[in-house]
Amino acid sequence: MRNKNRIHNLDALEKEIYRQQLISKEAVKKLENDFNYLRSNFFRMARNSSKKEESNSSFFDHVFSNDHVQKVVTGITDRITNHAADAINHLIDRLFKKHK
């Protein structure tokens, strides 16, 4: 903990907690942006990552344009995003829990 020796009183502790909360909010925002980018560009990225012959690309185009496949991928990314957000909230609660 690099800021350990900067905390000498309750005011400094409150400021450090606030600073850490801002850092975690930025991380959550970046994670959400990354997942949104992945969700909106998954099919294009998957198709481009395939180094197969040209005949196989039409197969991938067909599979990735299927509504059911798109719904499944969207559901998976939604679940991952929700679990990541829950884990971050749980971590924040454990780190910054106010003791009575």
Confidence grade of residue 23 (pLDDT, cut at 50, 70, 90): very high
User: Is residue 66, in this structure, part of any structural domain at all?
Assistant: yes
Q: Model pTM greater than 0.85?
A: no
Q: Taking 70 as the threshold, does the pLDDT of residue 88 lie above it?
A: yes
pLDDT, position 30:
92
User: Is residue 100, in this structure, part of any structural domain at all?
Assistant: no
User: Is residue 18, in this structure, part of any structural domain at all?
Assistant: yes
User: Is residue 61, in this structure, part of any structural domain at all?
Assistant: yes
User: Is residue 39, in this structure, part of any structural domain at all?
Assistant: yes
Number of structural domains the chain divides into:
1
pLDDT tens across 26-74, in order?
A: 999 999 999 888 888 888 887 777 655 455 567 777 777 788 888 888 8
User: Is residue 67, in this structure, part of any structural domain at all?
Assistant: yes
Task: Quote the CA–CA distance of 25 and 30 in Å, as a whole number.
Answer: 9
User: Is residue 73, in this structure, part of any structural domain at all?
Assistant: yes
User: Could you tell me the residue range of the domain that residue 91 belongs to?
Assistant: 4-95
SS (H, E, C) the chain: CCCHHHCCCHHHHHHHHHHHHHHHHHHHHHHHHHHHHHHHHHHHHHHHHCCCCHHHHHHHHHHHCCHHHHHHHHHHHHHHHHHHHHHHHHHHHHHCCCCC
User: Is residue 64, in this structure, part of any structural domain at all?
Assistant: yes
Q: 24, 88 in Cβ contact below 8 A? A: yes
